[in-house]
Copies of this chain bind each other. A is one copy, B any other.
Amino acid sequence: MNDVASKVATLMEAMPYLKKYAGKVIVIKYGGNAMINEELKAAVLQDVVMLKLLGMKPVLSHGGGPGINKMLEKLDIPVQFINGLRYTSADIISVVEAVLIGQVNSELVGRINAIGGEAVGLSGISANIYKCVQRSEELGFVGDIVEVNAAPVQALLDAGYIPVVAPVGTDGNGQSFNINGDTAAGKLASALGAEKLMLLTDIEGLCNDIKIRDVISYLNIADVQGLKDQGTIAGGMIPKVDCCVQTIEEGVTNVHIIDGRKPHSILYEAFTNEGIGTTVGKDQPSVGIKWNK
């Protein structure tokens, strides 16, 4: 009967979170290692289905994984860099669509359905979900989202489905664009009035010192500039944290930077008291920051 007690304790621990998140939209940005490792992939999709069964409305917003580069290589399509950024030619955007919408999205949808969810795959082209403008001519078909039409995603949520959204944008005139996956997920979350955005990453959270992995458990966006100034937020974390800040400012209550390399980190973050990784918000004081002075 010990086992019973422990099982029940887990369910009881989940109780306040179930109440808090009932019927709320949760957007999960799925990318990085969690898209490569088979076991992690299975766990992420189980977590998404679980959120649905527990009364939330999850939306899976995925990234690209390694598939695009593999196909570019196989097709001998040359990859060019302009000031360190990859140029997206017409051939490349076509491969991006093939891989992201045709292959990655289809696989995720198929797998969610196989474990009992009801997923419907979409790309940001449909009904101009991600309306873009070209970032610059020299980068080719790279777009910046200027408007999100969340209505078709909402319609599918209302009909009880788990929307799985591929991050491809459109200019509304038939031209597709490569877009940033984190930004797309963040903007979709705010357009849907989501309760939270979960960013699955390959780190344990935002750390004071990446070497000793001392994670900042709660980051108030008011402290972001200070952390940039002292170098705690640097390099690849800058755009990720900026995306969090914008998402919070557009009305999403919390963004969670969680470690996609640990199985079931989504469920663990959502339903246990400890949580996991870094929660970004604006309603509480930061917890765990080490200021240089």
Q: Please tell me which one of the listed residues B55, B98, B110, B267 contacts residue A55 in the complex, with CB atoms under 8 A apart.
A: B55
Does A159 belong to the interface (CB within 8 Å)?
Answer: yes
For A114, list chain B residues within 8 Å (CB). 172-174
Contacts A75-B75, A173-B114 given; does A161 touch B127 at CB 8 Å: yes
For A126, list chain B residues within 8 Å (CB). 109, 119-121, 161
Establish whether residues A12 and B174, one from each chain, have CB atoms under 8 Å apart when the complex forms. no
Establish whether residues B174 and A268, one from each chain, have CB atoms under 8 Å apart when the complex forms. no
For chain A, which range describes its interface: under 10, 10 to 19, 20 to 34, or 35 or more residues?
A: 35 or more
Interchain CA distance A191-B90 in the complex, whole Å = 38
Interchain CA distance A5-B174 in the complex, whole Å = 25
Interchain CA distance A94-B111 in the complex, whole Å = 15
Within 8 A of B (CB), among A139-190: 151-152, 155-156, 158-159, 161, 168, 170, 172-176
Interchain CA distance A13-B119 in the complex, whole Å = 21
Establish whether residues B98 and A103, one from each chain, have CB atoms under 8 Å apart when the complex forms. yes
Could you say how many copies of this chain the assembly holds?
6
Establish whether residues A118 and B127, one from each chain, have CB atoms under 8 Å apart when the complex forms. yes
Does A125 belong to the interface (CB within 8 Å)?
Answer: yes
Does A284 belong to the interface (CB within 8 Å)?
Answer: no
Determine chain A's interface SS by DSSP, over half rule. Answer: helix
Which residue on B lies nearest to A49, using beta carbons? Answer: B15
Does A211 belong to the interface (CB within 8 Å)?
Answer: no
For A107, list chain B residues within 8 Å (CB). 174
Does A6 belong to the interface (CB within 8 Å)?
Answer: yes
Does A238 belong to the interface (CB within 8 Å)?
Answer: no
Nearest Cβ on chain B to A210's Cβ, whole angstroms: 20
Interface centre among A50, A102, A103, A111 (most CB of B within 10 A): A102
For A118, list chain B residues within 8 Å (CB). 127-128
Establish whether residues B102 and A18, one from each chain, have CB atoms under 8 Å apart when the complex forms. no
Known: A98-B98, A120-B152, A155-B159. 10 other contacts (CB 8 A): A4-B268, A11-B271, A18-B53, A106-B168, A110-B174, A119-B126, A120-B127, A122-B122, A152-B156, A155-B155
Q: A residues bordering B, Cβ < 8 Å?
A: 1, 4-8, 10-16, 18-19, 22, 46, 49-50, 53-55, 71, 74-75, 94, 97-103, 105-107, 109-111, 113-114, 116, 118-123, 125-128, 151-152, 155-156, 158-159, 161, 168, 170, 172-176, 262-264, 267-268, 271-272
**What are 11 A-B interface contacts by the 8 Å CB criterion?**
A4-B272, A5-B264, A100-B102, A109-B123, A111-B174, A113-B128, A118-B127, A120-B122, A120-B127, A121-B123, A152-B156
